[in-house]
Amino acid sequence: MTVRDGIIVIDHGSRQPAANQLVVQVAARVQARRPGGIVTYAHMEMAPPSLEEALRACLDRGAERILVLPYFLGPGRHTRETIPELVAALCEKHPGLEVQVAGPLGEHEKLIDVLLERAGQI
């Protein structure tokens, strides 16, 4: 990853404003670990900003490549279909822009560590 990479952390979105704050906080924590980097967030549904709005924000800040990081646990419809389809459509609007999409968080070993840590707190 370089400083010219834009990162978009994207979640589902909710009608509940408090629920939408989680991805805002996660993106802020990612940004704190990448001082000077380009990090923003998006929601798939129900709340702004959209993926397209977040992509535009990254481009406006000088991103040359966008990394879309789904804040989803499982490989559902959004991670398998909707996000890749939206990214393909956005790439057509922005020829030459490289956009990569990570998989869902799923079974990442560090999530297993978090679960075991939480279990130890009970």
Contact of 82 with 13, CB cutoff 8 Å = no
Question: Which DSSP state fits 39?
Answer: E
Contact of 57 with 40, CB cutoff 8 Å = yes
pLDDT above 80 for 43:
yes
Max Cα-Cα span within the chain? 51
**Assigned fold of 5-120:** Rossmann fold (3.40.50)
State the pTM of this model: 0.89
Whether cis (ω within 30° of 0) applies to the bond prior to 49 is yes
Contact of 10 with 23, CB cutoff 8 Å = yes
The residue-averaged pLDDT of 5-11 equals 95
How do the domains of the chain map onto residue ranges?
A: 5-120
pLDDT score of 120: 86
The residue-averaged pLDDT of 65-88 equals 91
Give the CA distances from residue 87 to residues 19, 63, 122, in Å, rounded to whole numbers and listed in that order.
24, 15, 41
